[in-house]
Structure 1
Amino acid sequence: MATDAPQRSPSPTPIPPTAAAPGPRATALHQLYNDAITHILKTCSYSHFAACFPTPSRAVAGSIKNLYGQFIDKLGEQLRRNFDVLIRDRDAVASLNGLDRLVDEARARRRKAEEAGILDKENTVAPHTLPPQTLYRSHLAPSLVRHSQQIKAEHAAVQAENEEIMARVQQQRKDIAALLSGLEKVVAEVDAKAAALNPGELDELRQETRAVDEGMRMEM
């Protein structure tokens, strides 16, 4: 007999993976570094290199030029290799690609907001033009609100607990007052009955009490 398969909730949409190929920012970083290396190698001209070896550069100029060419090639290779190792160890390509994706998403949301009339493009203030106080307050506002709500909740819990303790204390005070009042009534009734007895009855009562007390002691 076939049974209906249990319905499952749809899986959440996975986050798109970050592309391994260099994006715009990663490519620009590589280009900037290559341009910087090229500029450094051009600064290290043959004349400066030969000035470090004056005698060989005059005696064997061809060998010094070959040495200079090998030195420049090796230096460029070493600089590029070190940069590639740093980029790989820091996972810079994935991070920069992630930044590109966030910027594209932010631009898309901004464009949709402008098209929907939610965002006023003309009156929008660029974040970098805001004062530092406004920026750090905007960053701290969510955490401050969260902590403020937590403190309010804790304060409300403590206040409720204090009110409960105070109610118990007041009830205990009422119970103690009722007990004292009852004791006072009992004492007053005993005093009244004692006052109503004549001296002879009091003596008989004392003797009976004394006899009962002696009997209890003898039994012990």
Structure 2
Amino acid sequence: MPEMTQQTPAGGEGEQQPSQQAQEEMMDTTTTTAESEQPQRQEEEEGEGVREESPPLPEKHLAVTPGPRATRLQELFASTLKHTLDKINRDNFAACYPTVATRAPGTLEFVQRQMVGRLGTQCDKEFDSILQNRNVVAKLNELESLVSDAARRKAELGGGTEPPVPPHTLPAETVLAAHLAPHLASQQSQLNAKLQTVQSHNARLFTEIQEQRAEMEQLLAAVEAVLADVDGANELLDGVVEDLAQETRAVEVEMART
């Protein structure tokens, strides 16, 4: 019995020592957090004083108004974050630190609230940063406009009773033709432009050839007229050539005698 009495206090001291260490760690964490918040508050106060002395900044651009999808995304994030932070409640936190929960429940509850608040603030900042950097709201609004435009065009077309053909059921030739249609259309337009250029060039050449042929016919007609004049002159000379020859010989004979 004396031995059992001695072992029981020893066991109690063994349990008390870890609980005191855990409590000291929690108190150190709280003190460190308070100390880290104090310089931050001082910097914020100094920053507010500087902002009051500095000239007013230009107005910021107004944020894009979120549409239904962007609003639903923000609501879903808020509900998911709240559901996640609700898991870090006082009971679950106390289950992780049972000794501190028994000996210093107020400190543990303060740390739990501070942890949940910081985690929620940090998650909100990260989510807002992602929304701004990725321009999520504007893109979701653009998606809204595309969907509404598609619905409007479908309504304008009358919304036929026949359901659209799924693309995966189309034959390979149709799919290939659909993919090649834009390229072939551009090539066809280029070929049509080239054809029109060649046709206009050929028409211009044909006109020039016609003009050259008309000019050649005029020249041939002029040459033929000249040849006809020469032939007529030759015919006139045929009747007097003999007389001229006799006169020429007579003149030569007389000149020889003298």
TM-score of the pair, normalised by structure 1: 0.48
Tell me which protein shows more helix as a share of its residues.
Answer: 2
TM-score of the pair, normalised by structure 2: 0.43
